[in-house]
Amino acid sequence: MKTGGVGRLIEQKRLLCYLSGAGGHRPQEGMKLPRRSKPARVYVDAKILNMHDPALRKEAYVGYVVEGKGAHDVKRVEATESDDAEVLAIMFAIEELKDSLGRFTVVCDHESVVSEATKDAVRKPSDLMKRLREMLSQYPSIRLEALQSNLAHQVVTEHVNALRAGIR
């Protein structure tokens, strides 16, 4: 959709305010970004410190980065399992960005979490997974996909799955 001169200036001002706005690199409250023809990609991750040392207190952090925008944020969460931490990372990104980006794709490197969150039916999901699934159905303009950073990983996974299914 083409925008007239005044409309284009308003959109440029919004983008400039967003990119240089207060609050670091987080979107300003209530700020709407210009709609893109291609949804933004938001990468999420979670880290649990001291995971392998039972004597130390575990600390979990989640964060996101909006590709090409520089927008990012990190926060501490309560999680002792990697699945829970990844779910919290996805939920954090959705909560923080749903109003400013509108339509976007969350990219997560934890394939089992993405698979469970996007399946039609899941037996006995955790409370966190239920909340994530509800969020995704509440915001249909937000998609979730697994990061396929290693093409060999995908080939091996497909091969093993085919062996398990008795196809090969």
Alpha carbon separation from 19 to 29, 69, 94 (Å, rounded)? 13, 8, 19
Q: Where are the domains of the chain?
A: 38-165
* Tens digits of residue pLDDT in 41-68: 999 999 888 888 888 888 899 999 999 8
Quick check: helix, strand or coil at residue 130? Answer: helix
Specify the fold of 38-165.
Nucleotidyltransferase; domain 5 (3.30.420)
Structure tokens given for 118: 């996007």
Burial category of 104 from C-beta neighbours within 10 Å (exposed 0-12, middle 13-18, buried 19 and up)? buried
Question: Is 89 in a helix, a strand, or coil?
Answer: helix
pTM > 0.85: no
pLDDT surpassing 60 at residue 24: no
Block residue for tokens 């093409």: 151
Determine the pLDDT at residue 130: 94
pLDDT (0 to 100) of residue 166? 77
109-150 pLDDT, tens digit each: 899 999 999 998 888 899 999 999 999 999 999 999 998 765
C-alpha 158/C-alpha 163 separation (Å) is: 9
